[in-house]
């Protein structure tokens, strides 16, 4: 059982929901990464998703794309991020996940990449452009090192595919809440709640909603249907503005008791 499984087991025992913020490694320089991670842990984040800057981020909206561009201008590389996490890991206790794309992993070398992120203390991996039909190129190495591959399901995914995806993991299912890329939204599809309930019903592991969640009200709405939320673009916006209280407010919203 790795840190991801352990933290969700604890949340279930306490009847609590998860809040996973997303940050871009190297945005503001890699020297700022430790400060951001330790702040988020202290503020109550369940785990932290760490984006790896990449020149062709097909799932990312404008805010995350710009954060990636800033990080690339700082000269941030995947190897630099792996090294930085190795230095930070001893003082951070919550799960850390990498969000990257297939190309950087292949360029690094799959086996070497998995070996190095395990050594640095990474607990999970999200690769949005790698469908389950192609994940055999990496999943055996991840299983060997006890690193969770977090798989995504979308509003367009048939129920049979959602079931197949959910049965593959031990961490959590990443339920995408919009049709399209990341970024803040004013609202969501009226059928989203019904969709999330269906994903939750068929999944043997926790379900977290992500994409477009940007207000405490959004957080409260999503946790009424599933096990937690992932908040990316808004977290980056608030960090850039120095609005740390805004992030605390989002995290606190995930602690709200929902009466169904």
- Confidence check: pLDDT of 179 > 80: no
Mean pLDDT of the chain: 92
Q: Where are the alpha helices (DSSP H) in 25-184?
A: 33-43, 62-73, 78-88, 102-108, 110-120, 139-145, 159-166
The answer to the question of residue 93 being in a domain is yes
Which one from 5, 27, 49, 148 is the annotated catalytic residue?
49
Classify 210 as helix, strand or coil.
strand
Task: Tell me how far the alpha carbon of residue 44 is from its chain's centroid.
Answer: 15
The answer to the question of residue 195 being in a domain is yes
pLDDT one-digit tens code per residue, 145-176? 999 999 999 999 999 999 999 999 899 999 99
**Residue 35 catalytic?**
no
- What tokens appear for 77 in the block? 């590389």
**Residue 123 catalytic?**
no
pLDDT bucket at 259, cuts 50 / 70 / 90: very low
- Confidence check: pLDDT of 186 > 60: no
What is the rounded CA–CA span in Å between residue 253 and residue 118?
32
The answer to the question of residue 38 being in a domain is yes
Residue 190, pLDDT score: 73
Domain that holds residue 241: 3-10+17-253
What CATH code is carried by the domain that includes residue 46?
3.20.20.70
The answer to the question of residue 74 being in a domain is yes
The answer to the question of residue 260 being in a domain is no
Q: How many structural domains compose the chain?
A: 1
pLDDT one-digit tens code per residue, 195-207? 999 999 999 999 9
Of 137, 148, 145, which Cα lies nearest the Cα of 171? 148
Report if pTM > 0.85. yes
- Confidence check: pLDDT of 180 > 90: no
Of 6, 20, 47, which Cα lies nearest the Cα of 229? 20
Average confidence (pLDDT) over 113-128:
98
Which one from 5, 35, 56, 60 is the annotated catalytic residue?
60
Of residues 228 and 260, more confidence is placed in 228
């Amino acid at each position: 059982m790795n840190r991801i499984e352990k933290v969700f087991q604890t949340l279930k025992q306490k009847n609590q929901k998860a809040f996973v913020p997303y940050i871009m490694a190297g945005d503001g320089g890699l020297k700022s990464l430790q400060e951001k991670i330790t702040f988020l842990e202290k503020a109550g984040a369940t785990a932290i998703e760490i984006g790896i800057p990449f020149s062709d981020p097909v799932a990312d909206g404008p805010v995350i794309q710009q954060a990636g561009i800033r990080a690339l201008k700082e000269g941030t590389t995947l190897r630099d991020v792996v090294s930085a996490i190795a230095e930070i890991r001893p003082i951070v206790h919550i799960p850390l996940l990498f969000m990257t794309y297939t190309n950087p992993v292949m360029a690094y070398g799959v086996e070497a990449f998995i070996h190095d992120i395990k050594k640095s203390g990474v607990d999970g991996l999200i690769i949005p452009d790698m469908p389950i039909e192609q994940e055999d190129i990496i999943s055996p190495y991840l299983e060997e090192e006890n690193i969770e591959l977090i798989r995504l399901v979308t509003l367009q995914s048939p129920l049979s595919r959602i079931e197949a995806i959910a049965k593959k993991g031990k961490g959590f299912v990443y339920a995408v809440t919009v049709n399209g890329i990341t970024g803040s939204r004013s609202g969501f599809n009226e059928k989203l709640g019904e969709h999330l309930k269906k994903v939750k019903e068929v999944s043997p592991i926790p379900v977290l909603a992500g994409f477009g969640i940007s207000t405490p009200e959004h957080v409260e709405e999503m946790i009424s249907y599933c096990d937690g939320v992932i908040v990316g673009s808004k977290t980056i916006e608030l960090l850039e503005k120095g609005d740390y209280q805004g992030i605390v407010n989002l995290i606190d919203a995930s602690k709200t008791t929902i009466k169904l």
